[in-house]
Structure 1
Amino acid sequence: MSDATPSDQAQNVRRRRVFYIPGYDPIHPRRYRELYRKEGAAQAAISGYEITLSPKTTKGGPYGWHVSGNIGAPVETDVEVLIWSDIVRGSMSNSIPATYVQLLRTAWAYIGSGALWRLMRLRKGPVIAALYPVVFLIVQLILALVVGYGIFVGTMMLGNLAALALSLDAQTAALFYPVTLLAAALGALSVWGILDWFKRKDGRFFAYYLMHDYAYSARWGGANPPRLEARMAEFGDSIAAALEEDVDEVLVVGHSSGAHLAVSILADLIRAGRAPAEGPALGFLSLGQVVPMVSFLPKAHRLRADLCYLSTAQSLAWVDVTAPGDGCAFALCDPVAVSGVAPADKRWPLVISAAFTQSLKPETWKALRWRFFRLHFQYLCAFDAPRDYDYFQITAGPRTLAARYHGRVPSKSRIETPVNKFTAKAAS
């Protein structure tokens, strides 16, 4: 984009605040610190620069850490994770029956509204990822029912054989009811045991996790539940406070589902005049976004309005990074345009590709190719041969996001076709 001002283009970042908004993740945010530490060190070794981590310097507030970087110039960065993992955990059903109720409700939300078929016109990868938990949970249930029925039939057959061995009709009748109850009980226990085994092993299969993820947005039809809205307001307050500090850039990073939360948080902040013109540069980096999974739902009026508004904002730079190799993201889909809310004066986002197949060695790509969940986090990791996307240069380097991508043309293979059926927006 060539919209950045000359001051934005200067390599003048000495101090930076980074706010990372994770996706639908129930895990403690320390995992992101360890990921940054490990992958930052790996990228520094590959690219020949310096990055060191230490405890956060800001008092109170969200979980975070401090980064000292020397990528051509020394830069001090404070990274904070805007935590909503407690809300995520609270939305995850602990019971098997409730999860299957979620399955039915979520399937109806996407299929009944027609959103699923329109999403498939964009990218099949994330749609398949959305269908995976539905199909796999159904397969689990069928398998459990087949085994349970087999145990029921087998138990009944053993009961009949026992009755025949006794050779007395009265005794056969006396055995029938207890044997039937025993067979039914054993069959039911086996069904429950198999379903419970799959649930306990979900760290390997991710079926329950993904089901809860998609069900969270589907339950509200694309709207944000009150508790999440309250948390987003708190996030906005933290970002607004940073914009009043003596720093050169405030960078908001939204990954996966965190990207659409960031859209609304930043839209609220700018709309309310809380991004001062004389303050730090404001950047928004959306990574591996799945915005259409929410914006295509009928009640996503707020998100669609915020997408439209943020796409014209002059007080920030918005760069959207995805990769066709990430089967969980809507790769190179302009989230504003495909949602059908792009205004005539649209400026953002700048849509570019992380180009996994070109920025990773063939052996690395081969090792990761079928690890879909890991690939969805590759944006936060080291690359063997980074092109113009390097997460650690963006978050710890001496240039603002606007300066780094000034003059960068968007990906030629981006998708901008508006295919959303629901385009109504909330009033500003």
Structure 2
Amino acid sequence: MNPRVVAGETMTGKPVVKRLVFHIGGYDPITSHVGAQRRFAREIVRFQRTWSVKATVDGLHDTVDQIRWNVTTTGPDWRVETDYRLVRWHDVIEAFGRRSIGSRISVGILAFLDFVLAGTLWRYLRTNWRYALFFLYPFVTFGLLIATAVLFGVFAFKITGSIPIAAGAGLFGVAAVLAGPWRWLHLGDLFDDWIFSREYIRCGNSKIEQRLERLAAELVAAASNSAADEIVVIGHSLGAVLAVDLLDRALKQDPELGRNKIPVTFLSVGSSILKVGLHPKAIRFRTAMERVAKSRAIFWGDYQALVDPLNFYKSRPMAEMGLSTENEATVRVVRFSRMLDDDIYRRIRLNFFRLHGQFVSGNDKRSSYDYFMLTCGPISARSQTLAPDGAVSMIADDGGLIASAPPSASELLGSPGAAA
């Protein structure tokens, strides 16, 4: 039995009327607050069709720390108001992207060597070989492209016998790589992703840390004073790492977070927690992770997908990091093929970045995992995570709530580390 579940607790309980959501995205620059809201509004349309509900998105408010808007969702017998807050860190991402190409390449190679020589690559291979391939992809691809440019110069020398012509041909090949594949294959962003990760592990990022400290104070205040029925902190990809950092800072400010008035749920989706947590030098992060996991008042659900190589499928994060598993995450395995129309899934199944983004996109079919149901639906995020089929058996065909007898504690399929 999950130690986080109270015996006799209902799966649905009282429907959520108000919810506060802090969402931290992955290493994905969002240059426009209007664009961020438009993307959200576009995807929530699919949610409305799939679950036979209505939704409105309005009230855009932009600050230095977050982009906020209001979401109102309604069914035949329920209404939910969600205060949605998208934590900003695109400015940090863009600062990395503004560095010279030479700097990004050299520091990126340094980051690659750091993860390899520290033994982190081996830990990736042992935990999830697909993620190890994702780690290798940008560096190996770049190396092969540069090697091709050099061979172009060697070929020119064999034909002409001229060193200047060969050198010029080689430099032209390198320039072509940087002008084309470097951008087309998003190698620059992937190099920056690993550069940031190494910096975060080794010395932290002062701008991110100051922002998370301010947001932690907001989270603590909201947990005591807001009218929300639940607070959901959701981290996607590398954003899950920052979500742990945010919750840890909030717990330092208020060790009773989630115990007094408003429950707090932490959802890591398509998580990169082990990307950072498996590095030997990530001691500060693992300490924070352990504090968050030990807080019984914070429920932690971890969603993973097999076909997504950018997350750690069927892993137990706490165990893999060598930390106590007494209060580890409730792990849920999701299948994108059951969430999307067949033609859409076939079209994107080899586009790994698009697959990774499905964790925060709308579904075409009702499924145990639905980002918008978790963040905007009438069933608490905790109850959806604990239920074997999420909200599927709790929402009728017309979008109304289905009343059902509360299950016993033994029927709750949410034991720590379970891959359902």
Same fold per TM (> 0.5)?
Answer: yes
**2:199 and 2:177 mapped to 1: Cα distance?**
23
Q: Give the aligned partner of residue 392 of structure 2.
A: none
Residue 9 to residue 283, structure 1, CA distance change in 2 (3 Å): same
Q: Give the aligned partner of residue 225 of structure 1.
A: 205
Which residue, out of 385, 389, 408, partners 2:413? 408
1:360 maps to 2:364 = no
**2:63 and 2:208 mapped to 1: Cα distance?**
24
**1:15 and 1:133 mapped to 2: Cα distance?**
43
Q: Give the aligned partner of residue 42 of structure 1.
A: 46
1:397 maps to 2:374 = no
Using the TM superposition, name which of 81-90 and 26-35 deviates more. Answer: 26-35
1:194 maps to 2:176 = yes
2:118 and 2:280 in contact (8 A); partners too:
yes
**1:97 and 1:34 mapped to 2: Cα distance?**
35
Residue 413 to residue 368, structure 1, CA distance change in 2 (3 Å): farther
**1:154 and 1:241 mapped to 2: Cα distance?**
72
For 2:72, give the aligned amino acid.
Answer: S
**2:52 and 2:276 mapped to 1: Cα distance?**
40
For 1:282, give the aligned amino acid.
Answer: V
**What's the secondary structure of 2:231's corresponding residue?**
strand
1:267 maps to 2:248 = yes
Q: Give the aligned partner of residue 260 of structure 2.
A: 278
1:78 maps to 2:78 = no
1:234 maps to 2:214 = yes
Q: For residue 102 of structure 1, report the CA deviation from its aligned partner.
A: 2.5
Which residue, out of 93, 98, 111, partners 1:106? 111
**2:157 and 2:207 mapped to 1: Cα distance?**
46
**1:16 and 1:308 mapped to 2: Cα distance?**
26
For 1:340, give the aligned amino acid.
Answer: G
Residue 59 to residue 104, structure 1, CA distance change in 2 (3 Å): closer
1:199-218 alignment, distance < 5 Å: 202=183, 204-218=184-198
**What's the secondary structure of 2:180's corresponding residue?**
helix
Q: Give the aligned partner of residue 97 of structure 2.
A: 92
Query: Which ranges of structure 2 fall in alignment gaps of 5 or more residues?
Result: 387-411
Q: Give the aligned partner of residue 132 of structure 1.
A: 137
Q: For residue 373 of structure 1, report the CA deviation from its aligned partner.
A: 0.1
Residue 21 to residue 156, structure 1, CA distance change in 2 (3 Å): same
Residue 340 to residue 123, structure 1, CA distance change in 2 (3 Å): same
Residue 122 to residue 400, structure 1, CA distance change in 2 (3 Å): same
2:330 and 2:417 in contact (8 A); partners too:
no
Which residue, out of 340, 350, 366, partners 1:386? 366
1:300 maps to 2:282 = yes
Q: Give the aligned partner of residue 33 of structure 1.
A: 37
Q: For residue 9 of structure 1, report the CA deviation from its aligned partner.
A: 5.3
Residue 280 to residue 360, structure 1, CA distance change in 2 (3 Å): same
Q: For residue 365 of structure 1, report the CA deviation from its aligned partner.
A: 2.2
Q: For residue 305 of structure 1, report the CA deviation from its aligned partner.
A: 0.9
For 1:395, give the aligned amino acid.
Answer: T
1:143-192 superposed Cα distances (whole Å, 9 cap, x missing partner): 222223434555545xxxxxxxxxxxxxxxxxxxxxx55x3663354134
For 2:58, give the aligned amino acid.
Answer: S
2:149 and 2:171 in contact (8 A); partners too:
no
1:21 and 1:254 in contact (8 A); partners too:
yes
1:42-72 superposed Cα distances (whole Å, 9 cap, x missing partner): 1211221111211247999621221110144
For 1:116, give the aligned amino acid.
Answer: L
Matched positions, count = 388
Using the TM superposition, name which of 72-81 and 268-277 deviates more. Answer: 268-277
For 1:338, give the aligned amino acid.
Answer: E
Using the TM superposition, name which of 51-60 and 305-314 deviates more. Answer: 51-60
1:43 and 1:383 in contact (8 A); partners too:
yes
TM-score by length of 1: 0.82
Q: Give the aligned partner of residue 65 of structure 1.
A: 69
For 1:245, give the aligned amino acid.
Answer: S
Q: Give the aligned partner of residue 11 of structure 1.
A: 14
**What's the secondary structure of 1:377's corresponding residue?**
helix
**1:39 and 1:102 mapped to 2: Cα distance?**
36
Structure exhibiting the larger radius of gyration computed from Cα positions = 1
Residue 253 to residue 32, structure 1, CA distance change in 2 (3 Å): farther
Using the TM superposition, name which of 284-293 and 334-343 deviates more. Answer: 334-343
TM-score by length of 2: 0.84
1:140 and 1:198 in contact (8 A); partners too:
no
Which residue, out of 363, 367, 373, partners 2:353? 373
Q: Percent identity?
A: 24
Q: Give the aligned partner of residue 173 of structure 1.
A: none
Q: Give the aligned partner of residue 56 of structure 2.
A: 52
Q: Give the aligned partner of residue 119 of structure 1.
A: 124
